[in-house]
Each structure stands twice: as structure tokens, then as C-alpha cells.
Copies of this chain bind each other. A is one copy, B any other.
Amino acid sequence: MATQSTGERLHAAALTLFAERGYHGTGIRQLADAAGLSSASLYHYMGTKEDLLVAIMRASLGELVEKGEGIAADLRRTPRDRLVDLVGLHVTTHALAPDQTRVVDDEVRVLSTEARREVVALRDRYEAAWQRVLEDGAAAGSFTMTDPALTRRALLEMCSGVARWWTPRGPLGPDEVAGEYAVLALRLVGARPRRVVRDTPRG
């Protein structure tokens, strides 16, 4: 791992503190202590405290959105495979970087109108990627659900929840959880059995 610049150290520290104590629960002096700076020096690296929050959100969410859209838009692959990959992306991200997702999910409300619009737009793009895969699956007949939008919301909330309970000290690793969740997701969308024809084992 490359040595961390001061700016990166600040971002990392802020991420941890915002996730732990919330945006309003974190003072700039705590931020400064965690980053190894004085409170005055903070302002050399960030604009306002809110700017710092926005930067963190943009980085975290932006990466997720790009990866998600990449998976969703790969039309060479079946909706089923794309859904499994989306679940894998979302679950492993939420397990391994719970701070990022917690901040993005919980602190949107503190943003002023302008900043909120940007973050919400990113989130909308991410949800649209999921929606697309669900609808592709429904159109292809491989998924059976009464309401794709509702199923998408249920699915995403289910997967996001991983950040609220998973711990590295539990019995399952991130990839194992992702695997289990992929099964759950396929059940949720009413995916047809894996091999559509009569290859089924165990009668």
C-alpha cells in the first residue's frame, strides 16, 4: 500500500468518524485529532465540513455506480448472471466498507439542497442499473415478479443491510455471504431453476 497523503488520511479519518458518530456527532476538532492536524489546518484540505462529507460520498457512491452500471449494461450476459454479480458487488462492498455505505445511506439528510441533488442523482443511477437487470429478466421470462420496482427496493434494502450486521469475526466471509445473498436474490425475483431443462439432479 502506498504511503497515505495527508488529504487521504483526513478523508479516511472522517469516514470512520462520520460512520461511527454521525456527521453532526463529529466535531471538527475530533476530525483534526484523528487526522493528526490542528483544527485550523483542516481547512487547507477541505472546504467546509459539509464539503468534506460530499467529497466522501461522491467517491464512495461514484465507484459503486460505475461498477454497477458496468455490470448491468453488459448485454452479452444473462439477466440472471448480471443480477448475481450486482448482488456480489453490493454485498461485498457493504461488508468490507461498511463505513462508506453507512455514511452514504444515513447522512444524505444533512446535505443542503444542491449537494443532496448530486448525491441523490448518483443513487438514482445505481438503482436504475438494478431496475434494468430486473426488467431484462422479466422480459426474458427468466424472472417472475409482480412488481419489479417494489422487488428492486426490497432487494437493495436486503443487501444494504449487510453493512449493519456483518462482522469479520462472524462465521461467514464476505464472498460466502455474497453467495448466500445471491441465492436469496434469485428466490426473491422468482428466477427459474438454474438448468431450465431436465438436467435436474435429485428428482
**Chain A interface residues (CB < 8 Å from chain B):** 20-25, 106, 109-110, 146-147, 150-151, 153-158, 160-162, 164-165, 172, 177, 180-181, 183-184, 187-188, 190
Contact = CB atoms under 8 A, between A and B. Distances in A.
Contacts of A156: 161
Question: Which label, helix, strand, loop or mixed, suits the secondary structure of the A interface?
Answer: helix
8 contacts: A22-B24, A22-B110, A25-B109, A153-B165, A158-B158, A158-B161, A187-B190, A188-B188
Contacts of A190: 187
A23 B146 CA distance: 38
A180 B106 CA distance: 26
A158 B154 contact: yes
Contact of A154 (B21, B24, B181): B181
